[in-house]
Chains A and B, each alone.
Chain A
Amino acid sequence: MAYEMIVLTNMLIAILFAQSLNLITGFCGQVSLGHAAFLGIGAYTSAMLTKAGWPLAATFIPAMVIAGMIGMIVGAASLRVRHDFLAITTMGVSFLFTGIIRKQDMLGGEMGIAGIPAAYGGRVGLLLMTLCLTILFIIIMIYVKRSWMGYVFESIAEDEDTAGVLGIDVRRFKLFAFVLGTAGAGLAGALYAHQVRFIGPDSFGFVESVTVLSMVIVGGIGSIWGVTIAAALLSVMPQFFQVIDDYKLLVYGMLLFFAMRFMPDGLGGLAKRFRQNRNPDSSSERSQA
């Protein structure tokens, strides 16, 4: 039972993490190749605090606040660059984060932080806590998507110049998406740190950033259910592939390639096309960013 619980908790954390990026990349159209850095910021913050004797639940707020604050700085910097430049800048953030962590003895340097205390209630407690927080985050996402803010994000994702002309304060909303998304990643990081109980710079590298971005894209940019399913599948996939563990990255890389090649608008887009084929009248076409 313990094994299934670990897999399930991992899956829920992945969903939370992917949704937090979905807010930035999916809703608001801002590509981030450095999202794992914010998972890392949350994980380190939370791990340091629980090692100092705080209960896990009390570290959620600091983890989110610090990740969100740094997210605001990165977001403010990202306002200056667009498209490919933005992708590369955020990639730089990812490398900068691991580079700084490696050299900080206070944060364990290369060795990372070991012996992170278990959550209250052990595995079951952590699983329940993760489940509640993930569901809560998804509800917030649905709310944001349906609110007027969701429409504002969508207009920015589609054409930010036109959105600006219409009187939308593009910078403010982009920044807000960054803060909310990175705070979500910080929360996921706090949970992650107490799930694996050992973190190091390599847990939050560029590959992790690509992994989470691929969850969002395979799920279908901006689609809440698509991204949830994609994150669930892609996070448990390595467990099913234990037999071919040696070829894990090969399978993973090819999967990314074939997903992009044959369903570039992701699971969400696939579902939409299916619905439209069955019911051609309700073709509420929403273009993907």
Chain B
Amino acid sequence: MLAIDILIQGFIQGSIYALIALGLTLVYGLLRILHVAHASLFTLGGYLGVLITNATGSLFLALILAMITVGFVGMLSYRILYRPLLSQPPLIALIASIGIFIASEEIFRIIFGPFSISYVSAPLQNQIEILPGISMSEARIMVVVLAFVLLLGVNWLSRRTRLGIATRATVIDPDMAMSSGVNVDVIRYSIFFIGSAFAAAAGVMVSLLNNLVEPTMGAVPSYKALAIIVLGGLGSVRGALIASLLLGIIETFGTIYLDDLLDRDSIAFAFLILVLMIRPKGIFSKG
């Protein structure tokens, strides 16, 4: 029973990583930039989720509003942060992004206060028995379901819509796409909107699972999501998703069996380094 419990726990963790990593990997695919400030949007999503739920009493409304607002903030971040730096080496954008991320933690602390904020009455806390002997809170089930719905949505978007086809074309060859009449800038804005909205959804989910948000909640996901997209082979959406689930599960097992040796965050990176030594371009890279 214990093994199954851990597996489910890891799966939930992996679903959250997947939601965060998706936006990162899309941005990397388009711009070849490691978007560290993505985690600020995750934190912002968490705060909006808690504050709007507390104000209106509706988690659903909070989730939608958080996703839309953060989506627009994401577009703004592209406009002021990355667009002027596109002609520079990627390292410059990376450092600028880290700078924004560090500053944002401080901004959250100044605006929302240094202490954590919780739900007035935490929604979705009923336990449901999903298998004989194993029960999960509704919140956890919702995390997994939401992750799958959103990811299936993106899959549909990328295969069946003009935006998706144009995005894939831009990822493969921006110049060619541009000369075929794709407005590359519109694609980039849309991807920032979608990726940031997903990060917000992940933020709301994490706030629900922990029943609190705090200014530094983005720190660990930001770096771990970078590890995930590297593991998945930078820019590969499918790779990132599989790597998210894999890491979620490995980490959960690791915290139980390797606790004397390594802490939780270093397990992820130990695994990352190990994989990169065997496959220097990620698990799912070609060749």
Assess whether A241 is interfacial by the CB under 8 Å rule.
no
Given contacts A207-B102, A252-B102, A255-B99, contact A261 B265 (CB under 8 A): no
Q: Which residues of B contact A250 (CB under 8 A)?
A: 103, 106-107, 110
Given contacts A85-B281, A250-B106, contact A91 B223 (CB under 8 A): yes
From 144 to 168 in chain B, residues with beta carbon under 8 angstroms from any chain A beta carbon are none
Cβ-neighbour of A84 out of B81, B102, B234 (below 8 A): B234
Assess whether A254 is interfacial by the CB under 8 Å rule.
yes
From 81 to 109 in chain A, residues with beta carbon under 8 angstroms from any chain B beta carbon are 81-85, 87-89, 91-93, 95-96, 98-100, 102-103
Q: Which residues of A contact B261 (CB under 8 A)?
A: 100, 103
- Per the CB 8 Å criterion, the residue count for chain A at the interface is 44
Assess whether A210 is interfacial by the CB under 8 Å rule.
yes
**Is A31 a contact of B91 with CB atoms below 8 Å?**
yes
From 62 to 90 in chain A, residues with beta carbon under 8 angstroms from any chain B beta carbon are 77, 80-85, 87-89
Assess whether A28 is interfacial by the CB under 8 Å rule.
no
Cβ-neighbour of A257 out of B103, B259, B262, B265 (below 8 A): B103
Q: Which residues of B contact A249 (CB under 8 A)?
A: 102-103, 105-106
- Complex Cα spacing A93 to B230, Å: 14
Nearest B residue to A256 by beta-carbon distance? B99
Assess whether A122 is interfacial by the CB under 8 Å rule.
no
Cβ-neighbour of A252 out of B103, B272, B281 (below 8 A): B103
- Complex Cα spacing A156 to B280, Å: 19
Given contacts A99-B263, A247-B110, contact A84 B90 (CB under 8 A): yes
**Is A95 a contact of B265 with CB atoms below 8 Å?**
yes
Flag A217-243 by CB within 8 Å of B: 1 or 0 each: 100000000000000000000000000
Assess whether A155 is interfacial by the CB under 8 Å rule.
no
Assess whether B26 is interfacial by the CB under 8 Å rule.
no
Assess whether A136 is interfacial by the CB under 8 Å rule.
no
Tally of A-B Cβ pairs under 8 angstroms: 137
**Is B272 a contact of A257 with CB atoms below 8 Å?**
no
Assess whether B117 is interfacial by the CB under 8 Å rule.
no
Q: Which residues of B contact A95 (CB under 8 A)?
A: 223, 265-266, 268-269
- Complex Cα spacing A87 to B80, Å: 24
Nearest B residue to A104 by beta-carbon distance? B261
Assess whether A112 is interfacial by the CB under 8 Å rule.
no
Q: Tell me whether chain B's interface is mostly helix, strand or loop, or mixed.
A: helix
**Is A261 a contact of B34 with CB atoms below 8 Å?**
no
User: B100 to chain A: closest CB distance in Å?
Assistant: 5
Assess whether A115 is interfacial by the CB under 8 Å rule.
no
Q: Which residues of A contact B230 (CB under 8 A)?
A: 84-85, 88
Q: Which residues of B contact A257 (CB under 8 A)?
A: 81, 96, 99-100, 103
User: A223 to chain B: closest CB distance in Å?
Assistant: 15
Given contacts A84-B90, A85-B234, A206-B223, contact A261 B262 (CB under 8 A): no
**Is B95 a contact of A214 with CB atoms below 8 Å?**
yes
Nearest B residue to A217 by beta-carbon distance? B95
- Complex Cα spacing A98 to B268, Å: 13
**Is B98 a contact of A210 with CB atoms below 8 Å?**
yes
From 221 to 270 in chain B, residues with beta carbon under 8 angstroms from any chain A beta carbon are 223, 226-227, 230, 234, 259-263, 265-270
Flag A182-199 by CB within 8 Å of B: 1 or 0 each: 000000000000000000
**Is A99 a contact of B269 with CB atoms below 8 Å?**
yes
User: B274 to chain A: closest CB distance in Å?
Assistant: 10
Give 23 CB contacts A-B under 8 Å. Answer: A84-B230, A85-B281, A87-B34, A87-B91, A87-B94, A89-B273, A91-B227, A92-B270, A93-B269, A103-B259, A103-B263, A214-B99, A250-B103, A253-B100, A253-B101, A256-B96, A257-B81, A260-B85, A260-B88, A260-B93, A261-B96, A264-B85, A288-B89
Query: Other CB < 8 Å A-B pairs besides A81-B276, A103-B259, A253-B100, 19 of them?
Result: A77-B277, A80-B280, A82-B280, A83-B90, A84-B234, A85-B230, A85-B280, A87-B34, A89-B272, A91-B227, A92-B270, A95-B266, A96-B270, A206-B223, A217-B95, A249-B105, A253-B102, A253-B104, A257-B81
Residues of A whose CB lies within 8 Å of any CB of B are: 31, 77, 80-85, 87-89, 91-93, 95-96, 98-100, 102-103, 206-207, 210, 213-214, 217, 246-250, 252-257, 259-261, 264, 288-289
